[in-house]
Amino acid sequence: MEPVPVVLGVGGGIAAYKAAELARALMERGCTVETVMTAAAQEFVQPLTFAALTGRKVITSMFGARTADEVLASSVEHIAVAQRNRVLVVAPATANLLAGFAHGLAGDFLSTLYLAFQGRVVLCPAMNTAMWEHPATQENLATLRRRGDLIVDPEAGELACGTVGVGRLADPQRIAAFVMRALDDRRDLEGETVLVTAGPTREPLDPVRFISNRSSGKMGYAVAEAAAARGARVILISGPVTLPAPDGVTLVHVQTAREMYDAVMSHLDEATIIVKTAAVADYHLADVPPQKVKKTAMRLSLELDPTPDILAEIGRHKHDQLLVGFAAETENVTAEARRKLKSKNCDMIVGNLVSHSDGVGFESDNNEVVLVTRTGETIPLPLASKLVIAGQILDHILKLRLALHASQS
């Protein structure tokens, strides 16, 4: 998808600092972000934060201009900003902003922009519970919803005022995913069931210790989110990670390779596309001692048994499903990816280098991969966020399926 131009309106609430994380989350999903801050927002966060994150000038007032030329230019700037962006996201949308939008007030840049804006509007309210529940706020929200604005409801939790209740700004990752779903009019995965595995597995050594690996789950969660945005039913089987569950995805938690194997096999028949991003442990301790192992002065050896190779097992049994594996390598990525493509009977392997210390691979938000396909293609995908890479992988999966069908008929 082309970069989506988004204008982010930041209101004056304590959650304004989370709008910085939202700007980043939108950029990770391939959006360009232009920021407008209300005067109140600037009491909470410096415009410089957004300028540094987005690499763009931040609009802080309607009449910041000094010279006659600047005044002339700025007098129509809200129209230009409205015209060049596809989405207006307001976070935090305070009670005052919602009231202003609902009643068509145009007293500052953000409210003027709102009136001039013809693209999608996504409002993310955040306020104290009593203010949220007040009939005035609820009536304003009903008006805004009726006009077609999209509302990302606040979450329940501890609020800045010390109370607990509904009113906390929704998680920025969730808001960004919501924006992408609202925008993505490609429903090219509708009717598909995509089975994704993600994260590491954990193989216990005793009740308090385990063997695992550095996989963060970000790549698999990105594939799950991107597939759901394009209309797929998504089953995400995840090892232990710290990521929030993507909305609209069926999440199955597992710990060990054996549990992942069982979960995958029980959902396999439903899947039309299988993407195995998980970094499955290759070995485990077959007989885990029931009590914590005590330290001695002696050397300790562990005898480990192989875990089931889930991908290879699917490869042996698959019918017309499209099977995509990952190959995390520290060298010879393309050659290893090609070897695994054949040995595990996959349709595509996504090879990625994981020894980098320069911001790609495990734990990073970015990735740089090479796709090798059953049809003999080798497709490098240059450095980008995992969410952008996830979208590109899905594009190539769909292309590959067309090519495979064409070659069969």
Residues belonging to the active site:
161
Let me know: does 167 contact 159? Beta carbons within 8 Å: yes
Q: Which is nearer to ligand CTP, 24 or 218 (CB)?
A: 218
Beta strands in 207-312 (DSSP E): 209-211, 233-238, 250-253, 273-276, 283-284, 305-306
- How far apart are alpha carbons 241 and 215 in whole angstroms? 8
Choose between 90 and 353: whose C-beta lies nearer to ligand CTP: 353
CB of 408 to ligand CTP, least distance (A): 24
DSSP 3-state of 115: helix
Rounded to whole angstroms, the Cα distance separating 371 from 399 reads 12
CA angle 231, 166, 150 (to 5 degrees): 35
Beta bridge partners of 121: 88
**What's phi and psi for 320, nearest 5 deg?**
-100, 20
- Least distance (Å) between residue 327 CB and ligand CTP: 4
Whichever of 175 and 310 has its CB closer to ligand CTP, that residue is 310
Q: Pick the closer one to ligand CTP by CB: 328 or 400.
A: 328
Q: Is 336 exposed, middle or buried (0-12, 13-18, 19+ CB in 10 A)?
A: middle
Compute the least distance from the CB of residue 305 to ligand CTP, in Å: 12
List, as one string, the DSSP characters of 225-242: HHHHHTT-EEEEEE-S--
Helix (H, G, I), strand (E, B) or coil at 124: strand
Q: Which is nearer to ligand CTP, 6 or 280 (CB)?
A: 280
Binding region for ligand CTP (CB under 6 A): 197, 257, 276, 278, 280, 282, 307, 309-311, 325-328, 340
Amino acid at residue number 302: L
Nearest approach in angstroms of CB 257 to ligand CTP is 5
Number of H helices, E strands in the chain: 15, 20
The pair of structure tokens assigned to 135 is 């009939």
Q: How far is the CB of 104 from ligand CTP (least distance, A)?
A: 54
